[in-house]
Amino acid sequence: MEHLSYPNESAEYRRARNALLDAEMALRRQVEAVAALRRALPPGGAISEDYLFTRLDLYQREERVRLSELFEGKPSLILYSYMFGPERDEPCTGCTHLLDGLDGAARHVGQVVPFYVVARSPLSRLVAWARERRWPHLRFLSAEGNSYTNDYFGNTAGVSQPMRDERGYEAGTDWDEPMINVFRKEGGTVRHFWGGELVYAPEEPGQHHRALDALDPVWGLLDLLPEGRGSFFPRLTYR
């Protein structure tokens, strides 16, 4: 395929780059094919409980709200489980760098679908952290006192015993995971549509921290480099 040519590139480089371009085009087709499979999923399970969360209302006051009330007249809802439970002194740095990027996206995504960040900590703690982090567009839900995080795998406490045995999870030890879930509301019924199960899928060699790559601009940019991601992992601050 005749395509671009950069200054002073060699014929060897162009042959290799064209082969890579073929692979990139195939990946683009695969990404859309996967999205089509996701869109074609049959109806998921209806929620067994209309979970009660805490959020800020339009006047920045705390209010109690049920999952079914989060849709704002839209058919779908996205909830991201933030690894910032009450037992943590600081939130997960991996989650936090992802939310740094998603804060900018949230102002646009919110025109199509409500998007909330859910954590088990009290809402006051989440809001204080969001202000410190300067996230003006992300909206937070506290799952304090409900079982949403366990039921929809934002914490390993909801994982079945056979899976715990298979993965070697220590008995009595659980931790939060960066799970993302999509719900669908039809009439008066709220159903689970899709969850980011890749978070729990066994990792292949060299594939650590790739479960949410489709949402993550940091890893996307670093993957463009000759040195790749290397050993870098985000921190809360670089001061």
- How confident is the model over 130-173, as pLDDT tens digits? 999 999 999 999 999 999 999 999 999 999 999 999 988 998 89
Residue ranges with strand state E in the chain:
52-56, 62-66, 76-81, 115-119, 139-142, 180-186, 189-195
Share of the chain above pLDDT 70, in %: 100
In the three-class reduction of DSSP (H, G, I as helix; E, B as strand; rest coil), residue 46 is classed as strand
Q: Is residue 235 part of a domain?
A: yes
Which structure tokens are listed for 70? 């989060």
Model-level pTM? Answer: 0.95
Task: Please report, for the chain, how many H helices and E strands are present, in that order.
Answer: 6, 7
pLDDT digits (tens, 9 = 90+) for 8-60: 999 999 999 999 999 999 999 999 999 999 999 999 999 999 999 999 998 99
The tally of domains found in the chain comes to 1
Q: Is residue 12 part of a domain?
A: no
Q: What's phi and psi for 195, nearest 5 deg?
A: -130, 150
In the three-class reduction of DSSP (H, G, I as helix; E, B as strand; rest coil), residue 196 is classed as coil
Mean pLDDT across the chain, nearest whole number?
95
Helix (H) or strand (E) holding 35: helix 11-39
pLDDT reported for residue 76: 98
Mean of pLDDT values over 63-67:
98
CA distances from 126 to 42, 79, 86, 196 (A): 35, 15, 10, 23
Q: What is the residue whose two structure tokens read 């799952």?
A: 143
Q: Is residue 9 part of a domain?
A: no
How many angstroms separate the CA atoms of 144 and 104, rounded?
Answer: 26
How many angstroms separate the CA atoms of 3 and 16, rounded?
Answer: 13
Which structure tokens are listed for 4? 């671009």
Domain of residue 224: give its range: 17-239
Q: Is residue 222 part of a domain?
A: yes
pLDDT reported for residue 135: 97
Residue 28 is part of a domain; what is its CATH number?
3.40.30.10
Q: Is residue 100 part of a domain?
A: yes
